[in-house]
Amino acid sequence: MTYDLVLSNAKLVLPGEIFQGSLRVADGVIADISPGSSRTPGAVDCEGDYICPGLIELHTDNLERHITPRPNVDWPHRAAILAHDRELAGTGITTVFDAIRVGSILSNQKRRYGKYARQMANEILEMRAAGALKISHHLHLRAEICSETLTEELDEFGEADRIGIVSMMDHTPGQRQFRDIQKFEDYVCGKHNYDRAEFGDYVDFLYTLQNKYGAAHEAATVAAASRFGATLASHDDTTPEQVRVSKDHGVTIAEFPTTIEAAQACREAGIATILGTPNLVRGGSHSGNVAAKDLAEIDRLDILSSDYVPASLLLGATMLGEIWGDLPRGIATVTSTPARSVGLTDRGELVPGQRADLARFAIASGTSIVKSVWSAGRQVA
């Protein structure tokens, strides 16, 4: 058999074990795994580095960061998508669910943010179809419950868009992520350059939106996820009661539960939890919520997301490997577990027949170092 790629002398991160050996790729999939070094001509000597499946990112703000690199700056979207794509490839991420906000505020001129989701989705899908992107891109609609236009924006999408995830995001202050109003003020005024003197009026405006649209928007989000055939995710569940409501809605993934109680309720409800690697790497939440490390130590952390720092994803997985004394288990939180949670069965494990999405890395002084990345057997970094 002729192989497109042979990786030799590597520590292969297999399901449940580290295996010293060689991996062969043919036609974009893993063809064979064998012990020892390969004698195949042209084999890549990995010099004892690790090879793991390409990382799978379910929730990231990184595309938004490229679209709006500074407050009130709208960068050309296709250039932003390309920069985002290349950055993720360089960190070992080979599958990403691009988070796109649906739900806008148009009536408040001082606190306005406009519609962009349908246009952005079109551009991602067109670039994907044209082969312009290095890694595998999917769509994740972030449904802003506290907004004015959510229902009509959701109606702009359909089954043909193959939406992978729909998440319910309720950023009304005083609950969930921002139970501490001061934390919310610091975040909003710092990130969006809002006037603190007018902050109270902004909070009152958001409460008005929640009272007027909250229940209808939540119902529309649940219905849309069902219509699209997408995985439904909750966001910032804080109490067992919120988890119960999420379960009743059909939620199977909880993004960033904010308390131990919520994470425990998720486990009892069979809902997988996602925590942010910036939280893990920094040693705590920037919003003052539960630390990812604390949830890892009591086995209430299932999946990691890089959130707003793509390079943190592999670092967080190797840190979990240290915490748990089990590197394959840590790597699974960014590979096989997220893949299965959204119905991807063709990637996430180093197993013959799976997509050859691969990352080569080393660990030095506690820091993971990405050296090479392949997507469907094609080197992308």
CA 349/CA 379 separation, integer angstroms: 18
Does 174 have pLDDT greater than 60?
no
Q: What is the per-residue pLDDT for 181?
A: 63
Question: What is the model's pLDDT at position 188?
Answer: 62
- CA 26/CA 44 separation, integer angstroms: 15
Residue with the bigger pLDDT between 180 and 86: it is 86
CA distances from 38 to 8, 42, 47, 50 (A): 5, 10, 12, 16
pLDDT category at 143 given cuts 50, 70, 90 is: very high
Sole residue written with tokens 């064998």: 34
- Amino acid type, 112: R
Q: Would 266 be classed as within a structural domain?
A: yes
Which amino acid appears at position 120 of this protein? M
Residue 275 lies in a domain: yes
Least confident of 25-39, 176-190, 240-254: 176-190
112: burial class by Cβ within 10 Å (0-12, 13-18, 19+)? exposed
Q: In 10 A of CB 268, how many CB atoms?
A: 12
The pLDDT score that the predictor gives to residue 211 is 83
206, pLDDT greater than 90: no
Q: Is the pLDDT of residue 269 over 90?
A: yes
We report the CATH number of the domain holding residue 314 as 3.20.20.140
What confidence category does residue 191 fall into, taking pLDDT thresholds of 50, 70 and 90? Answer: low
- pLDDT over threshold 80, residue 372: yes
Return the closest-CA partner of residue 356 out of 334, 376, 371, 373.
376
C-alpha to C-alpha distance for 364 and 188, rounded to whole angstroms = 37
- Residue 91 within a domain: yes
Once rounded to an integer, what is the mean pLDDT over residues 356-364?
A: 98
pLDDT (tens digit, 9 = 90+) per residue, 32-87?
Answer: 999 988 888 899 999 999 999 999 999 999 999 999 998 788 999 999 999 999 99
Q: What is the pLDDT of residue 3?
A: 80
Residue 193 lies inside a defined structural domain of this protein:
yes
Say if CB 13 and CB 31 are below 8 A apart.
Answer: no
Q: Does pLDDT of 172 surpass 70?
A: no
User: Quick check: is 148 in a domain?
Assistant: yes
Judge whether residue 18 has pLDDT over 60: yes
Domain limits for position 65: 54-348
Residue 331: both structure tokens together? 């790597």
Dump pLDDT digits (tens) for 273-322: 999 999 999 998 877 789 999 999 999 999 999 999 999 999 999 999 99
pLDDT at 189: 58
Tell me how far apart the alpha carbons of residues 281 and 296 are, in angstroms, rounded to a whole number.
12
Output the six-digit token pair for 364: 């030095």
**% the chain with pLDDT above 70:** 91
Residue 279 lies in a domain: yes
pLDDT tens-digit readout, 107-135: 765 566 789 999 999 999 999 999 999 99
The answer on pLDDT for 102 being more than 70 is yes
Total structural domains in the chain?
A: 1
pLDDT confidence of residue 119: 96
What does the pLDDT read at residue 210? 84
Q: How confident is the model at residue 9 (pLDDT cuts 50, 70, 90)?
A: very high
Q: Does any domain span residue 1?
A: no
Proportion of the chain above pLDDT 90, given as a percent: 78
Q: What is the mean pLDDT of the chain?
A: 92
Residue 190 reports pLDDT greater than 60? no
Helix H or strand E segment including 216: helix 199-228
Residue 328 one-letter amino acid? P
Q: What DSSP assignment string belongs to 278-312?
A: HHHHHTS-TTS---HHHHHHTT---EEE-BT-TTH
Centre a 10 Å sphere on the Cβ of residue 283 and count the other Cβ atoms it contains: 9
User: Which residues neighbour 364 within 8 Å (Cβ) at sequence distance 6 or greater?
Assistant: none
Indicate if the pLDDT at residue 159 is higher than 70.
yes
What are the two backbone dihedrals, phi and then psi, of residue 343, each rounded to the nearest 5 degrees? 80, 15
**Which pLDDT band holds residue 204 (cuts at 50, 70, 90)?**
confident
User: Bigger pLDDT: 170 or 126?
Assistant: 126
- Does the pLDDT value for residue 261 go beyond 80? yes
Residue 173 has pLDDT above 80, yes or no: no
In-domain check, residue 301: yes
Question: Higher-confidence residue: 7 or 203?
Answer: 7
* Phi, psi (rounded to 5 degrees) for 302: -110, -40
